[in-house]
C-alpha cells in the first residue's frame, strides 16, 4: 500500500511511519522537515508546508490512502482534506485527540472541569474536524482517538478498542502508548473496519 503520511516527523507520525515501513508499505512522508528523516527502503521524503495546498496535492498524487497527524489548532485541516480530494486519494485516516471522547453520557472529555487548559484549544479544534467529517465528506474517512494519556512506550499489541466513549482500565486510568496507537492505526489502514466512524484504543 502507498501511504501518504502528513505530519510524519511528529510524535505520532514518526511511530506510524516506523510501523508502516516495518509491515512493508511504501510511505510518502510529508512534513516541513521531512528531509531530516533517515533514508530507508520504501520511504519517500516530501518536505513541504502543508498549508501550501497545491504543493500538497501534487505530493499526495498516486497514494492509496492519506493519514493526517498534525496540530489542528495550528493548521486548518480543511485545505488538507481538499488537497487529498484534489489529488484523487480516496481514503483518509485522521489522528485526533481524546478530548472529543465521551467521559460520561453526552459529556465530552474536553468539556469536563478537570480537562487541562493547555490542551483545550487543540482538543476543540480536533472535535470540530470530527464534526466536519460527520457532516459529510466525499472521502472515505476514519478518525482515531487515543486514550486520555498518550505517551511513548512499548508496542504490546494488547489493547482494547471502542467507539465514542473514553476507555478506562480497572484502576480508572485512560492510557495508550504511541506505539500501540500506531499499530491500531496501520491495522485500520490494512483492514478497514471503521469507515465513516471514529474509534478509540486504550488499555
List per-residue pLDDT tens for the chain, 203 residues long.
999 999 999 999 999 999 999 999 999 999 999 999 999 999 999 999 999 999 999 999 999 999 999 999 999 999 999 999 999 999 999 999 999 999 999 999 999 999 999 999 999 999 999 999 999 888 999 999 999 999 999 999 999 999 999 999 999 999 999 999 999 999 999 999 999 999 999 99
- What are the helix (H) ranges across 61-192? 77-86, 120-135, 178-190
**C-beta separation of 18 from 8 below 8 A:** no
Cell of 58: 501534487
> Where do we find the cell 493547555?
118
Rounded to an integer, what distance in angstroms lies between the CA atom of residue 119 and that of residue 134?
23
Rounded to an integer, what distance in angstroms lies between the CA atom of residue 162 and that of residue 191?
16
Rounded to an integer, what distance in angstroms lies between the CA atom of residue 63 and that of residue 202?
29
Q: What is the pLDDT of residue 138?
A: 87
Comparing C-alpha atoms, which of 165, 131, 129, 134 is closest to residue 148? 165
Look at strands 197-202 and 160-162 and give their pairing.
Answer: antiparallel
> Where do we find the cell 459529556?
107
Q: What is the pLDDT of residue 74?
A: 94
- Based on the structure, what is the number of domains in the chain? 1
What is the DSSP secondary structure assignment for residue 121, as one 8-state letter?
A: H
| Owning domain of residue 41 | 2-202
Q: What is the pLDDT of residue 46?
A: 95
| CATH code: domain of residue 164 | 3.40.50.720
DSSP 54-82: HHHHHHHTT-SEEEE-S-TTTS-HHHHHH
Rounded to an integer, what distance in angstroms lies between the CA atom of residue 120 and that of residue 45?
32
Amino acid at each position: 500500500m502507498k501511504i501518504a503520511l502528513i505530519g510524519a516527523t511528529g510524535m505520532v507520525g514518526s511511530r506510524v511511519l516506523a510501523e508502516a515501513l516495518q509491515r512493508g508499505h511504501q510511505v510518502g512522508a510529508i512534513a516541513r522537515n521531512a528531509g531530516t528523516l533517515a533514508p530507508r527502503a520504501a520511504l519517500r521524503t516530501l518536505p513541504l508546508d502543508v498549508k501550501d495546498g497545491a504543493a500538497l496535492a501534487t505530493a499526495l498524487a498516486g497514494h492509496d490512502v492519506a493519514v493526517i497527524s498534525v496540530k489542528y489548532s495550528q493548521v486548518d485541516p480543511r485545505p488538507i482534506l481538499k488537497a487529498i480530494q484534489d489529488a484523487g486519494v480516496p481514503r483518509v485516516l485522521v489522528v485526533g485527540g481524546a478530548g472529543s471522547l465521551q467521559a460520561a453520557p453526552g459529556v465530552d472529555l474536553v468539556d469536563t472541569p478537570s480537562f487541562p487548559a493547555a490542551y483545550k484549544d487543540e482538543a476543540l479544534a480536533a472535535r470540530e474536524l470530527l464534526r466536519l467529517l460527520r457532516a459529510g465528506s466525499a472521502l472515505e474517512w476514519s478518525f482515531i482517538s487515543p486514550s486520555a494519556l498518550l505517551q511513548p512506550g512499548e508496542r504490546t499489541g494488547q489493547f482494547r478498542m471502542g467507539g465514542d466513549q473514553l476507555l478506562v482500565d480497572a484502576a480508572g486510568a485512560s492510557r495508550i502508548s504511541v506505539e500501540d496507537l500506531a499499530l491500531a492505526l496501520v491495522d485500520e489502514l490494512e483492514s478497514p473496519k471503521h469507515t465513516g466512524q471514529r474509534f478509540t484504543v486504550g488499555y
